[in-house]
C-alpha cells in the first residue's frame, strides 16, 4: 500500500446565486450561502494505479464571531464539477455538477479539520469516465459559517489536500525500468 498527498492547485469561495467571489482571501467559507470550489491536478501516477481510498482534507481556521444562525444540521455535500470554475463564475450561469456522484458528509465540529471520503469521485476521474474539473462543496444555507485554509493560506501545511492510498503500485513512467541500445550509424 502506498499513500500520496496532492496539494490543492486552486481554491475559491463563492456566494450562491451572487456575483461575489472570495478569491483574494486566504480563507474558504462554507455555509451561510457560501460554497467552495477546489481543483487538484492529478499526477499521471494516479491513472496508472488502483485507487483504494481518496480523502479530501480541509483544515479549519477560527473565526472571530459566528456569522449565521447555527443549526444542528451540519450536513454538507461534495460534488464533482461538470464545468470549469472561475473567480468570475457567478457572473455567468451556475456551475453544473454530477449529482450521481455526490457525497454527503457531516462535519465534526470538535475537530480542527474536515475529512471527506471522495473515493468514488477520484475513481471516476482516474478511470476517465468523468473529466476532472474540480469539486464543489456546499452546505445547508442556514448552517453556521465554517472557514478553512485556502491554497493561499500562510501556513502551507494547512492547504487543502487530497490523500490517496493505492493497492499495489505500478511504476510511474519516469522510473520504469528500461534498456536503451543505440546502433552505430
The pLDDT value recorded for residue 97 is 95
Of the candidates 12, 6, 36, the residue with the CA atom closest to the CA atom of residue 152: 12
d(CA 102, CA 137): 10
Q: Please state, in angstroms and as integers, the Cα–Cα distance from residue 14 to each residue in 32, 52, 89, 162, 180, following that order.
A: 11, 31, 9, 21, 52
Round the CA-based radius of gyration of the chain to a whole number and report it.
19
Confidence class for position 67, pLDDT limits 50, 70, 90: low
Given a cut of 60, whether residue 58 has pLDDT beyond it is yes
The pLDDT value recorded for residue 124 is 97
- C-alpha cell of residue 38: 477546489
The pLDDT value recorded for residue 157 is 93
The pLDDT value recorded for residue 118 is 98
Given a cut of 60, whether residue 149 has pLDDT beyond it is yes
Contact, 139 vs 67, CB < 8 A? no
Cα 94 to chain centroid, rounded: 18
Given a cut of 60, whether residue 94 has pLDDT beyond it is yes
User: Per-residue pLDDT tens for 121-134?
Assistant: 999 999 999 999 99
Minimum mean pLDDT among 69-78, 109-118, 176-185: which range? Answer: 176-185
List phi, psi (to 5°) of 128.
60, 30
The pLDDT value recorded for residue 90 is 66
142 vs 164, more confident? 164
Q: Which helix (H) or strand (E) holds 46?
A: helix 44-47
List phi, psi (to 5°) of 139.
-140, 170
Minimum mean pLDDT among 33-47, 101-115, 169-183: which range? Answer: 169-183
> For the residues 86-90, what does the mean pLDDT come to?
73
Amino acid at each position: 500500500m502506498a499513500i500520496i498527498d496532492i496539494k490543492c492547485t486552486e481554491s475559491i469561495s463563492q456566494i450562491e446565486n451572487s456575483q461575489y467571489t472570495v478569491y483574494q482571501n486566504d480563507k474558504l467559507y462554507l455555509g451561510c450561502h457560501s460554497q467552495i470550489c477546489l481543483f487538484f491536478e492529478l499526477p499521471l501516477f494516479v491513472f496508472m494505479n488502483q485507487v483504494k481510498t481518496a480523502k479530501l482534507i480541509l483544515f479549519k481556521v477560527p473565526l472571530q464571531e459566528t456569522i449565521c444562525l447555527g443549526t444542528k444540521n451540519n450536513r454538507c455535500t461534495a460534488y464533482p464539477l461538470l464545468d470549469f470554475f472561475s473567480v468570475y463564475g457567478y457572473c455567468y450561469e451556475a456551475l453544473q455538477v454530477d449529482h450521481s456522484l455526490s457525497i454527503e458528509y457531516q462535519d465534526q465540529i470538535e475537530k480542527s479539520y474536515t475529512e471527506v471520503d471522495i473515493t468514488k469521485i477520484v475513481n471516476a476521474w482516474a478511470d476517465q469516465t468523468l473529466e476532472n474539473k474540480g469539486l464543489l462543496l456546499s452546505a445547508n444555507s442556514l448552517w453556521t459559517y465554517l472557514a478553512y485554509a485556502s491554497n493561499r493560506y500562510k501556513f502551507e501545511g494547512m492547504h487543502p489536500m487530497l490523500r490517496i492510498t493505492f493497492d499495489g503500485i505500478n511504476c510511474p513512467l519516469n522510473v520504469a525500468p528500461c534498456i536503451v541500445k543505440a546502433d552505430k550509424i
